Amino acid sequence: MGKSETDASTGTKGHSEATRRVCVFGVPVQTCPMVHPDMLNVHLVAHTHDDVGWLKTVDQYFYGIHNDVQHAGVQYILDSVISSLLVEPTRRFIYVEIAFFSRWWHQQTNATQEVVRDLVRQGRLEFANGGWVMNDEAATHYGAIIDQMTLGLRFLEDTFGKDGRPRVAWHIDPFGHSREQASLFAQGRSGAQGLLLSLVWHAGVLPNIYNPPEKLCWDTLCADKPFVEDRRSPEYNAEELVNYFLQLATAQGQHFRTNHTIMTMGSDFQYENANMWFRNLDRLIQLVNAQQQANGSRVNVLYSTPACYLWELNKANLTCLYTLQVVILPSSDGQELLFPASVPALGFSIYSVSQVPGQRPHAHKPQPRSQRPWSRVLAIQNETPLVQEVHQNFSAWCSQVVRLYRGQRHLELEWTVGPIPVGDGWGKEIISRFDTVLETKGLFYTDSNGREILERRRDYRPTWKLNQTETVAGNYYPVNSRIYIRWVSGQISSAPSAARSRPQPGTALFLAPPRFPQFSGLRRELPPSVHLLTLARWDQKTLLLRLEHQFAVGEDSGNLSSPVTLDLTDLFSAFTITYLQETTLVANQLRASASRLKWTPNTGPTPLPSPSRLDPATITLQPMEIRTFLASVQWEEHG
């Protein structure tokens, strides 16, 4: 195979520059490369995965400090990628972590910023996902997920307008999967769909996780051989690499339901020298596509993006498949102040405390319990009329407090762990184990990202027969806010910790006479099934407002799982809503103008619900629904 300077079919150097302007998710500015309808189209997605803090700090990752810990310098990645994209107009690249990109952006000259805007406008640089970070899934709270997505997408909207709106939900290396993450994507994006290959939302498998295929990694962090096209060189390998790629693509394509397949070309903190990557990808595309004429190959390879790949899958109009779903005594530990408090909705109460000599009647009296030497646990029990608690010290770096408040049906856990000693070279998983005589039949219930409740069953998977070889690890589930078990007559649960006062050691506190200044931001209570998730200033005259229904269909035996309607017109005490606009969950697009691809699952067509009529006097929330609004307000004089 000789070096081919020009592709005879297009007249371009190496590969076609032909693109077409398409309307992806209602945004008519995205350009996607031409594909061949009668060939296997291999979409190469050039990308980097840049953790916003992991083995190094955010600043160390950005500036390339402590490369002895992990070689990574994000500022150099972005510098190099932008320069390389300008060399060849068919090259494309996707970027995700807006925390890094925004920092890099603010360090650029006006001229560089205009160049980047043009690359975004042409679709050659595309933002996927668009959050401040690519959040983990299993152990994150849904409120934090929404907030960080809103932050990142607002930067893109303010900086690039609709050109910068992500068209696809791109989640790789998310440290677990959660149903709530998919639910938030489904509710919240401006038409974005999950890149889950031929499946929608519930599961997806990228062929190489998110890494390049074996032998095809051309980064400074890799050791694979680059293309050598000079036949006079003893290192000549172009023909071997092309044949290898053709075999790889053909085999991979057999597992896909359309004539489109995807290959991720990049990995963690790659493209610091983007020229190495793009130069070899250019040669790969040119030489592989040259085989179409030379040998009748039916493989067409092209630079692409997740949005362009997903667009082609959607056009195929196939039925999408779903899948189911040393002991140190705590001698310096301070006392705690515990008293009943009443706090109004969306407000605060002020309580004053004073220090007096001596010991108040109900001060905690530590009562050490006996210890079992082998367990190395020190337990101290405290009891007051308001709370019973047990302090447990397992080591100098691990302790927990178990509390039961009077009149409550749940336990509260407060744990302190770290820094975990790893000097012996072994990682450690820290757990709390609770034994019970209750008959649960192996069923228990946990939250999903702090929101939905999911039923779990010990040693069981809903989609396949489990051969359980890890009886402990195989039954681990993330708990972000609550977990409970049920038996015939009730349930026992644990709940999040509450804030509390921590006075200095050696002092006594008492509650001042009952003269409580209070403020409430609400004129009346919200319905018990409604949660005010977000109330934040958006700009000088606008507030960001999110309301959520906290119950799922069938979760409550009464009426809490029913749709609920509320009136916002005079709900808030500090302001009056004068104009209301509903947006997508992450507030980067009006809901009425949002557009998304339509899919046909094997459960039958599922049309998207039309936005409810927008009237501040009648806002209706369906079970588990979150609705987001931009509210123009008139502030009250006292507000």
Question: What is the percent of the chain with per-residue pLDDT over 70, rounded to a whole number?
Answer: 74
Beta sheet of 575-583, edge-to-edge order: 530-539, 542-549, 626-635, 575-583
Closest CA to 130 of 58, 185, 60, 86: 185
Binned at pLDDT 50, 70 and 90, residue 325 comes out as very low
CA trace torsion 444, 450, 453, 455 (10° rounding): -40
What is the tens place of the pLDDT at every residue in 130-152?
999 998 888 888 888 899 999 99
**Mean pLDDT score of the chain, rounded to an integer?**
79
Most confident of 158-172, 235-249, 458-472, 584-598: 235-249
Binned at pLDDT 50, 70 and 90, residue 489 comes out as low
Does pLDDT of 322 surpass 90?
Answer: no
Q: State the catalytic residue, choosing from 59, 118, 158, 173.
A: 173
CB 108 within 8 A of CB 75: no
| Average pLDDT, integer, range 505-528 | 59
Tokens found for residue 315:
């056009």
Q: Across-strand partners of 392?
A: 379, 400
Q: Which residues contact 337 (CB under 8 A, 6 or more apart)?
A: 353, 500, 501, 502, 503, 509
Domains in the chain, CATH or no CATH each: 40-316 (3.20.110.10), 377-421 (no CATH), 519-599+613-635 (2.60.40.1360)
> Residue 244: left (phi > 0), alpha (psi -120 to 50), or beta?
alpha
| Average pLDDT, integer, range 154-158 | 96
Does pLDDT of 288 surpass 90?
Answer: yes
Tokens found for residue 598:
């339509």
Does pLDDT of 256 surpass 50?
Answer: yes
Residues, the chain: 639
At residue 351, the pLDDT reads 62
At residue 357, the pLDDT reads 56
What is the tens place of the pLDDT at every residue in 462-475?
777 888 887 777 77
Q: Which residues contact 141 (CB under 8 A, 6 or more apart)?
A: 449, 450, 480, 481
Q: What span, in angstroms and rounded, lies between the C-alpha atoms of 227 and 237?
A: 6
Q: Across-strand partners of 95?
A: 127
The DSSP string of 232-280 is TSTT--HHHHHHHHHHHHHHHHTTSSSSEEEEEE--BT--TTHHHHHHH
Least confident range from 213-217, 543-547, 569-573, 593-597: namely: 593-597
At residue 180, the pLDDT reads 78
Burial class (CB in 10 A: 0-12, 13-18, 19+), 319: middle
Q: Across-strand partners of 635?
A: 575
Q: What are phi and psi of 93, to 5 degrees?
A: -150, 145
3-state SS assignment for residue 432? coil
Task: Report CA torsion sign: 148, 149, 150, 154.
Answer: positive
Closest CA to 252 of 100, 451, 43: 43
**DSSP-derived pairing of the beta strands 125-127 and 260-265:** unpaired
594 vs 162, 168, 188, 365, 591, CA distance in Å? 11, 14, 10, 60, 5
101 vs 195, 303, 586, CA distance in Å? 22, 22, 19
Does pLDDT of 169 surpass 90?
Answer: no
Has 333 been annotated as catalytic?
no
At residue 604, the pLDDT reads 59
| Average pLDDT, integer, range 343-350 | 66
| Average pLDDT, integer, range 187-210 | 51
DSSP state of 105: H
| Average pLDDT, integer, range 363-374 | 36
What is the tens place of the pLDDT at every residue in 84-100?
999 999 999 999 999 99
| Average pLDDT, integer, range 410-417 | 86
Prior bond to 419 cis, omega within 30?
yes
Looking at per-residue confidence, does 35 or 482 come out higher? 35
CB 90 within 8 A of CB 33: yes
